């Protein structure tokens, strides 16, 4: 393949797009943000002007947030050479000096990978049995973890990162990030089965909802499906299909939001591009705003309904009652007659309610 010719910046926009040239690696110590070789972000973890101190410590790999809170309470953390013991203290890690036990903390850069997980590989970070993990395929130990785990028998797209905030948004069902799966089941799936799944299937941990399900093809003894979910219940697809008496033979995830598996080979991985990371963040940000708006509308509706019911109850209680507690209040014309003659109301005078 002939080498790619370099072009000037002033004329690069007029030229047709060529294969991207990998830029030279830059030092993260010189700039807090740069581009990776594949175009991905190189932002430092837990960045920002107002970040909780325990979050910065956890991103530096000093333990969970709870254990980092203990470090703060024990007086082992310094900010700008001042011991900080107050939990919830907000700092600017880009400008302030933070030490633990007299040592500067090392903030790792944010990394984002996508990997085509083969069947038989685990998504867990720690396995006492020493079986092959997703992180073993990458070989990057910068406090990475997987987003949207797949069980050992499943395969397909996995996102690996050390960005805890983005990971929580993608995995949490309130942000409604769609995941697309290709599923092969035993037997011939009928329309009645699809309708039952679309209505929702009750599992041991609640009702499971599927965004969409369709049949891609029929084989002799199997059926190929495409399913879209935004929830994250444990082994949800396998349990849902088991409820309609179909065993899952193959399960492969091919998309998480805007990220597509495409033609990435099995067991291979690559870094997400800057545009892909930005698309994920934009999707979860817009979802959070829309869900917050829906929640506000629902809360306002509930408050309105409750206030109207309280007003109606108050109006009913303000009217004088002439019936005794043991009698019923009649309906329509019989109601006035019973009010004039208290104590003589018949149980069959009409529908009523006991006070």
Q: Mind listing the pLDDT tens digit for each residue in 135-161? A: 999 877 667 888 878 999 999 999 998
Please, which pLDDT band fits residue 173 given cuts at 50, 70 and 90?
Answer: confident
Q: Does 10 map to a domain?
A: no
CB distance 147 to 161 below 8 Å: yes
Q: Tell me, what's the pLDDT at 141?
A: 61
How many domains are contained in the chain?
A: 3
Q: Tell me, what's the pLDDT at 66?
A: 82
Of 246, 269, 292, which marks where a domain is finished? Answer: 292
Q: Tell me, what's the pLDDT at 166?
A: 86
Please, which pLDDT band fits residue 295 given cuts at 50, 70 and 90?
Answer: very low
Do 89 and 67 share a structural domain? Answer: yes
- Most trustworthy range by pLDDT among 133-147, 194-208, 289-303: 194-208
Q: Tell me, what's the pLDDT at 169?
A: 86
Do 203 and 225 share a structural domain? Answer: yes
Average pLDDT over every residue of 192-204: 93
Share of the chain above pLDDT 70, in %: 66
Q: Tell me, what's the pLDDT at 328?
A: 44
Q: Tell me, what's the pLDDT at 232?
A: 75
Do 248 and 182 share a structural domain? Answer: yes
Q: Does 119 map to a domain?
A: yes
Do 213 and 192 share a structural domain? Answer: yes
CATH (domain of 152): 3.30.70.580
Q: Tell me, what's the pLDDT at 44?
A: 62
Give catalytic residue positions: 151
What are the backbone dihedrals phi and psi of residue 22, each rounded to the nearest 5 degrees, phi first? -65, 125
Do 276 and 143 share a structural domain? Answer: yes
Q: Does 7 map to a domain?
A: no
Average pLDDT over every residue of 61-82: 87
CATH (domain of 218): 3.30.70.1560
Average pLDDT over every residue of 264-280: 95
Do 237 and 182 share a structural domain? Answer: yes
Q: Is 294 helix (H, G, I), strand (E, B) or coil?
A: helix
Cα dihedral sign, 281-282-286-287: negative
- Residue 47 or residue 193, greater confidence: 193
Q: Does 338 map to a domain?
A: no
Average pLDDT over every residue of 277-288: 82
Helices and strands (H, E) in the chain, number of each type: 9, 17
Average pLDDT over every residue of 283-288: 72
DSSP state at residue 220:
S
Question: How far out from the chain centre does Cα 354 lie?
Answer: 48
Q: Does 39 map to a domain?
A: no
Q: What is the pLDDT of residues 315-348, one digit of tens each?
A: 545 444 443 444 444 444 444 444 444 444 444 4
* Residue 84: pLDDT over 80: yes
For residue 232, CA distances in Å to 100, 172, 251 come to 36, 7, 15
For residue 59, CA distances in Å to 24, 64, 70, 276 come to 27, 9, 15, 22
Q: Tell me, what's the pLDDT at 144?
A: 85
Do 264 and 145 share a structural domain? Answer: yes
Do 98 and 236 share a structural domain? Answer: no
- Residue 269 or residue 171, greater confidence: 269
For residue 190, CA distances in Å to 109, 182, 244 come to 50, 17, 10
Share of the chain above pLDDT 90, in %: 43
Q: Tell me, what's the pLDDT at 323?
A: 39
Point out the least confidently predicted range of 13-17, 164-168, 243-247.
13-17
Task: Name the average pLDDT for the chain.
Answer: 75
Separation CA 83–CA 76 (nearest Å): 7
Q: Does 264 map to a domain?
A: yes
* Residue 113: pLDDT over 90: yes
- Residue 53 or residue 11, greater confidence: 53
Q: Does 297 map to a domain?
A: no
Indicate whether this model's pTM tops 0.75.
no
Q: Tell me, what's the pLDDT at 190?
A: 92
* Residue 64: pLDDT over 90: no
Domain hosting 208: range is: 178-256
Q: Does 208 map to a domain?
A: yes
Separation CA 229–CA 255 (nearest Å): 11
């Amino acid at each position: 393949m002939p080498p790619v010719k370099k072009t000037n910046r002033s004329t690069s926009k007029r030229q047709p797009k060529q294969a991207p040239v990998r830029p030279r690696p830059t030092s993260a110590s010189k700039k807090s943000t740069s581009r990776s070789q594949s175009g991905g972000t190189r932002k430092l973890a837990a960045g920002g002007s107002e970040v909780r101190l325990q979050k910065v410590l956890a991103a530096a790999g000093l333990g969970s947030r709870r254990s980092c809170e203990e470090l703060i309470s024990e007086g082992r953390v310094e900010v700008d050479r001042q011991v900080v013991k107050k939990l919830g203290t907000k700092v600017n890690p880009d400008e302030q000096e933070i030490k633990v036990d007299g040592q500067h903390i090392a903030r790792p850069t944010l990394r984002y990978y996508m990997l085509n997980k083969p069947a038989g590989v685990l998504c867990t970070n720690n396995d006492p049995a020493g079986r092959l993990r997703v992180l073993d395929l990458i070989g990057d130990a910068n406090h990475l973890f997987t987003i949207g785990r797949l069980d050992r028998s499943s395969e397909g797209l996995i996102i690996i990162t050390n960005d805890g905030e983005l990971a929580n948004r993608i995995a949490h069902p309130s942000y409604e990030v769609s995941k697309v799966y290709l599923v092969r089941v035993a037997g011939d799936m009928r329309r009645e089965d699809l309708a039952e799944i679309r209505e929702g299937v009750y599992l041991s941990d609640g009702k499971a909802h599927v965004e969409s399900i369709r049949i891609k093809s029929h084989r002799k003894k199997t059926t190929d499906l495409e399913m879209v979910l935004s929830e994250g219940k444990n082994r949800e697809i396998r349990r849902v299909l088991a409820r309609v008496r179909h065993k899952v033979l193959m399960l492969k995830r091919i998309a998480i939001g805007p990220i597509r598996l495409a033609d990435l080979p099995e067991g291979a991985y690559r870094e997400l591009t800057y545009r892909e990371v930005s698309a994920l963040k934009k999707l979860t940000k817009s979802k959070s705003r829309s869900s917050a708006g829906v929640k506000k509308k629902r809360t306002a509706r509930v408050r309105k309904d409750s206030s109207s019911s309280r007003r109606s109850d108050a109006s009913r209680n303000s009217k004088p009652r002439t019936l005794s507690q043991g009698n019923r209040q009649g309906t329509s014309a019989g109601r006035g007659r019973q009010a004039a003659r208290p104590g003589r109301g018949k149980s069959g005078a009409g529908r009523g309610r006991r006070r």
